[in-house]
Amino acid sequence: MVSVRVPATSANVGCGFDSLGVALTLYTTFKFEKLDSGLEFVGFEERFSNKNNLVYQTLLTTLKKLNKEISGVRISIENDVPISRGLGSSSTCVVAGIYGAYLLTDTPIDKQEIFTIANEIEGHPDNVSPAIFGSLSSSCTTDSKEAVTVRYEVDERFNFLALIPNFETSTEEARKVMPKEIKLQDAIYSLSRIGSVIKAFETYDLELLNKVMGDKIHEPYRKEIIHEYHEVREICEKIDSSAFFISGSGSTLMNIVSDTNNIEKIKTELAKLKYNWQAILLKVDKEGTVVLN
């Protein structure tokens, strides 16, 4: 049996739409056991306990790439990353499936290789990179379709307060509400901020972060499809918010707090809202995916 732990991630950090992602200390653990035959799932919701399971499909795709086969497999999950909430649960499945294929066939782990495969399957290097490598990453696809990612450190003092509601947003819908063309000025708005955002994360400069975390590319559209976005933002900004952004394509909202003593106050206010908002304090994960056994 082999076992891997994959961190949750928050993509589209601030002005870094489809570019910046950060790994967080919330994890899903996957176990893979070879079977003589057949396919078994343990711990998955029933809707995912079948051949279409993303972990299993990724495992198969990766085995084919590696030119390897297995007779059967049992895949177990212990999931702390909520599904379809913008915290990278799909990425954890993709990354785990690739690791599973590597580990079950005794293929030496090469994170760069795994990143390339993950990107081929997932399509967004900024989603999978932080799950694999940890920390903050800036990722792109080159003209020759190569996935490229660079790592930036995030100061350990950062407090990411994930505000996770009891409703999903579909990534598909979240993509659909966005325009195909944007104002040049709105592109420059993000482009000119991203260097400052990276520097603020490296140096724990909350004041700088607060000044530059705006986005005009996706947030203006997506906030309208996340219930109570405005109310939650207002609560955070009233109490403690150095930066506030949609995690991935939502529905989770991320609030960076300067003082963890304020978290209870935020929770108290959130409890008065119509929807149920869970607030979880997360730190940056620096390791990315790790093999546990």
Q: Which residues are annotated binding-site positions for ATP?
A: 82-92
Stretch that binds a second copy, among 27-35, 53-61, 180-188, 263-271 (CB under 8 A): 180-188
DSSP structural state of residue 28: E
State the nearest-atom distance from the C-beta of 216 to a second copy, in Å. 10
Q: How far apart, in Å, are the Cα atoms of 96 and each of 76, 99, 106, 181? A: 11, 5, 15, 35
Query: According to CB under 8 A, which residues from 189 to 218 bind a second copy?
Result: 189-196, 198-199, 208, 211-212, 214, 217
> How far apart (Å, rounded) are the C-alpha atoms in residues 268 and 92?
31
On whether the CB atoms of residues 29 and 78 are closer than 8 A, the answer is yes
> How far apart (Å, rounded) are the C-alpha atoms in residues 168 and 149?
28
Q: How far apart, in Å, are the Cα atoms of 14 and each of 58, 190, 223, 246? A: 30, 9, 13, 8
7 strand-pairing partners: 27
Q: Is the peptide bond before 251 cis (omega within 30 degrees of 0)?
A: yes
In the bound state with a second copy, the residue whose beta carbon lies nearer, of 56 and 133, is 133
Stretch that binds a second copy, among 82-90, 143-151, 162-170, 244-252 (CB under 8 A): 143-151
In the bound state with a second copy, the residue whose beta carbon lies nearer, of 79 and 210, is 210
In the bound state with a second copy, the residue whose beta carbon lies nearer, of 142 and 293, is 142
Of the candidate residues 51, 180, 272, 274, the single one contacting a second copy (CB under 8 A)? 180
Q: Footprint of a second copy on this chain (CB under 8 A)?
A: 15-20, 125-126, 137-144, 146, 148-150, 152, 178-184, 186-196, 198-199, 208, 211-212, 214, 217
